[in-house]
Each structure stands twice: as structure tokens, then as C-alpha cells.
């Protein structure tokens, strides 16, 4: 009986911990091409990266230009020479984009966390089931 209560308490504690920690989880930054010679720097979820600093490089990794995004997260650059773009916000977020390639966005954070939790729960359930099968007494009579 107490083992069941302990298991339930652990599950409740882990659930509460994950819910409380979710707002603090880091989010990704990405560079979205708006038009030729213009990009927008965003976080996943659509929030504008207002403090991002952008650096544009050519094919030989030489810096062409750099600067801060405007209040809408947009940045203009000379498109003729540009090969790839790097954006950083000074807080550890960094995004890179190669000119001409599509922006790759990740799955929504909630879906990713949900899939990880389901996988962990199923794995724990399988091990718990296997352990309970090994502990069942043998009902054979002589």
C-alpha cells in the first residue's frame, strides 16, 4: 500500500516540477528571410529577437557587414556578396542561416516535451511491469 502511495507522490512531484520549470526552458532563435537582402530574427513561438546582433559573411568567411536588428527584428544586408548570416542576442542564443536555404524550424516545444514525457513514462511502465513479474511468487504445489 505504501509503495503505491510513494509511486503516486513521485509522479505528482515530477509533474509539478516540469510544469513549474517549463517557462524557464530556453527557446531557439532562427533567421527568417523576408525578401532579398532582408531578414528577420525571431525566437520559436514568433517573438521578435529585439536585441540580436547580425553578422553577414561572404563565401570566403570574410565579414561583409554587421549591426543590430531594428525594433521589428529586421536587418538589411548587401545580398550580392552574402553567403551566410549569424545572429546572436548576447544571452547565449545563436542562429545561422545560409542564403538560399529554407529556414528549418523545430517542432513546437510543448509537443517535444510531451513526446519525451510519454516515452519516459512508457519506458518506466515497461520496467515496472517486468520487475513485478519477476517478484510474483511461484504458485506451484508439490
Tell me what pLDDT residue 120 has: 87
Q: What is the mean pLDDT of residues 21-50?
A: 80
Top-ranked range on mean pLDDT: pick from 7-11, 21-25, 120-124: 120-124
- Per residue in 72-116, pLDDT (tens digit) is 999 999 888 899 999 998 888 999 999 887 766 656 667 777 888
pLDDT at 108: 64
Following DSSP, what letter does each residue of 23-78 receive, concatenated? GGS---EEEEEEETTEEEEEETTS-B-TT-EEEEE-TTS-EEEEEE--TTSEEE--
Separation of alpha carbons 26 and 89, rounded Å: 13
3-state secondary structure of 86: strand
- Mean pLDDT, the chain, rounded, equals 81
User: What is the pLDDT at residue 24?
Assistant: 47
Report pLDDT for 136: 66
pLDDT at 75 (0 to 100): 96
User: Taking 90 as the threshold, does the pLDDT of residue 18 lie above it?
Assistant: no
Q: How confident is the model at residue 60 (pLDDT cuts 50, 70, 90)?
A: very high
pTM for the full predicted model = 0.57
Tell me, what's the pLDDT at 53?
A: 96
Residue 25 reports pLDDT greater than 60: no
- Please determine, for residue 19, whether its predicted confidence score (pLDDT) is greater than 70: no
Amino acid at each position: 500500500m505504501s509503495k503505491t502511495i510513494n509511486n503516486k507522490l513521485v509522479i505528482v512531484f515530477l509533474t509539478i516540477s516540469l510544469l513549474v520549470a517549463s517557462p524557464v526552458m530556453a527557446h531557439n532563435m532562427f533567421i527568417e528571410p523576408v525578401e532579398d537582402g532582408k531578414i528577420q530574427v525571431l525566437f520559436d513561438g514568433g517573438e521578435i529577437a529585439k536585441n540580436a546582433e547580425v553578422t553577414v559573411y561572404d563565401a570566403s568567411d570574410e565579414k561583409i557587414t554587421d549591426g543590430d536588428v531594428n525594433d521589428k527584428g529586421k536587418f538589411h544586408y548587401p545580398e550580392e556578396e552574402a553567403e551566410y548570416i549569424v545572429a546572436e542576442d548576447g544571452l547565449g542564443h545563436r542562429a545561422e542561416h545560409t542564403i538560399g536555404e529554407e529556414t528549418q524550424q523545430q517542432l513546437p516545444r510543448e509537443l517535444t516535451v510531451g513526446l519525451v514525457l510519454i516515452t519516459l513514462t512508457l519506458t518506466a511502465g515497461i520496467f515496472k511491469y517486468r520487475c513485478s513479474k519477476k517478484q510474483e511468487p511461484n504458485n506451484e504445489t508439490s
